[in-house]
Amino acid sequence: MDRIGIFGANGRMGQALIEACALSKQCELSAAFVRAQSPLISTPVHHINKAAPTDLSFACESALQACSADVLIDFTLPEGMRRHLESAVKHRIPMVIGTTGLSDEDKQILCEASKHIPIVFSRNYSVGVNLLLNLVQVAATKLADELDIEIFEAHHRNKIDAPSGTALMIGEAIAHAKGWDHDTVAKFDRSNDHSAKTQNEIGYSVLRAGDIVGEHTAFFATMGERLEITHKAASRLTFASGAIRAAQWLRNKPEGLYDMQDVLGLK
């Protein structure tokens, strides 16, 4: 039985992770961490989420040393992730990380940490999205070069980073398949463009509204036809279940930086 510790356990993804952990027969929730200033510290997790064990209380994230977790899961913001990763390395506990909006410096910190502990990092833990990454690469290589390639994504009003990490994953997968440098061909803003788009760019469009969990579409359009490959998530439990699956896969793995493609055997 894998013992799972969750950072940001009081947040929306944290609550979904608790539920996903309860639904799994191969793991159990052993720690639910919140920020040091949270009024929830010492409150039974069961009072907030009925899926949680009745004998477990919210704990300060600094109490990591006292927890009995085999794997830690973190979907918090970059600042918190850096703190949690440092503690995980110190105590040699593997991590599953789903934090988005990471800077180049954050990514370098991840790479350095993976020399000491095994880490699964993905910007999306949905099985469907990771299959979509394979599909868009096939489309990018098999369709004609005279294609207009666009990516659309929609999320709830509170999502901060834009485009989403998943949208960037899709664009990077397409660019890799086409032999392009993604940062060179990515087009995030056309407000100052005064010419028609070219076929060697990947455009991004973003919608933030209401409570949309997550929608992503890759468009491959040419004269006379258009291919759309879409994934829609109806619940955060979709991502949480994938993260729990990654945590179970990660235990006893050697040090290194892995992703959901590794977990699913898609590489």
Active site residue 176: no
Distance (Å, whole) CA 257 – CA 111: 7
Contact 208, 155 (CB under 8 A): yes
Q: Which residues of 41-78 are buried (b: 16+ CB within 10 A; e: fewer)?
A: beebbeebbebbbeebbbbbbeebeebebbbbbbbbbb
Residues in the chain: 267
Token code pair at residue 113: 């940490």
Catalytic residue among 156, 159, 176, 182: 159
Active site residue 187: no
Distance (Å, whole) CA 238 – CA 133: 16
- Residues paired with 228 in a beta bridge: 219
Cα angle 143-146-150, degrees, rounded to a multiple of 5: 80
Catalytic residue among 47, 50, 90, 155: 155
187 φ, ψ (degrees, to nearest 5):
-125, 110
Q: Kindly list the catalytic residues.
A: 155, 159
